[in-house]
A and B are shown apart, each in its own frame.
Chain A
Amino acid sequence: MLNELLISMGRNRAATLSIFELDPETEELQAVIAGHVPPLLIEPQGNARLLEQAHGLPVGVRSGPSYQACRYPFSTGSRLLLYTDGLIERRDESIDEGLRRLTIAARAAAKHTDSSLADRVYRALLDGTPLEDDVALLAIETVPLENTLEMTFSAHPSVLGGLRSTLGRWLRGAGANANELFDISLSASEAATNAIEHAYGAREATFTVRCEHDDDDVTITVRDLGRWRTTRSRGGGRGLEIMRSLVDSVTVNSDEHGTVVTMIKRLSHQT
């Protein structure tokens, strides 16, 4: 659609573009690249490679190009470096040479943790060099989740998918099997939906989700700090019914400060 828009605007409106979707739960990265310089993937062991397979035409060049999404494994500890061509292009050398310099710099920078990866790569490539073009650099990293996870979310339904996805990743680390992962994620999502309903009308309301586990039990606590509202939307009781069926215990405590829902489920440690 953007492509057609740019073409309809006339000549010289081409642009390069990259779109990424990172799913930390499945540890997979999807990339679509329209004429943009290839991003650099740095694996947890420090091996760096350019993602060149996903390459397509810039947008705005011609009507109806097709773009293919490429998938790459992105395990915890992987890093992705995105940048504009100003970072690597020099008047006196080919772009391949620039990409080679980038790969070497990133591989070296990945070994250190004293400053951010983007900072180190920028300094290695451009420090002291007069800039010929504008430069943008962005590094993305997935880090392992803590044993006890506490998250704060805006009280808006759009956060529910991210909550389930992060919780799913944490639950896998805690040893939950596929059924347990579904049961606990969905129950937490139901409790979060209630917290979001309670906060209805309150500006900038948030709720927190705390996840803890010992060898046997996973405990999820959903706490909303918004105003308690007694009005419930239609079908609100079904959420509680689902939670009670899927986890071992559900307790709901509410007072003038908010509502706390605590869910406990014992893990079977069997797949």
Chain B
Amino acid sequence: MSPLDIQRIDGVPIVHVHQDIDAANATITQQQLADALGPDASSLIVDLSDTRYLDSAGIDMLLRLGDRLDRRRAELILVIPETSQLKRLAAIVGMPDAIAIHPTLTQAQQQAAKAHKQDRVPHPDTDGTIAGCPHA
């Protein structure tokens, strides 16, 4: 099984992570996750349901990824089930303050759909065109 499975549902990229994220792979994983966003999506769902360990390097990576997506006007949404050890860990380091976390993929998709709709509302300053970020 590939360590990352990428799918797109209703235009929203969803990455299922099937491996630990630690100092060994945080950098490459960040690049792979950022690439999964593509040019037009406004949300990226990272499903950590099958991830057993996430260390400080992995947490830093997700926070930086969130910032990076923010600059591209996209949102990072994590899926961490209630029963996952990562839920406790995320609370310890205050991750929920910085990144949207949902217990199920369905809930994450609902948030992504909402963001998508809001994105489609034309901004008054941009003459009806959808805002994009050329620096991404």
Chain A positions near chain B (C-beta within 8 angstroms): 157-158, 160-161, 164, 178-179, 182, 185-186, 189-190, 193, 196, 234-236, 238-239, 241-242, 245-246
Contacts and interface: CB of A to CB of B under 8 A. Distances in A.
Nearest to B27: A157
B50 interface: no
A190 B55 contact: yes
A160 B59 CA distance: 16
B23 A186 contact: no
Interface stretch (B10-18, B30-38, B85-93, B113-121): B85-93
B60 interface: yes
Contacts of A236: 56
Contacts of A161: 20, 22, 24
Interface residues of B, number: 17
A246 B56 CA distance: 13
Given A186-B55, A235-B56, A238-B56, A164 B20 contact: yes
Given A164-B53, A182-B85, A186-B55, A238 B60 contact: yes
Contact of A189 (B25, B55, B88, B92): B55
A189 B22 contact: yes
27 contacts: A157-B22, A157-B25, A160-B23, A160-B55, A161-B20, A161-B22, A164-B20, A164-B53, A179-B88, A182-B85, A186-B53, A186-B55, A189-B53, A189-B55, A193-B23, A193-B55, A193-B56, A234-B60, A235-B56, A236-B56, A238-B56, A239-B55, A241-B56, A241-B92, A242-B55, A242-B56, A246-B89
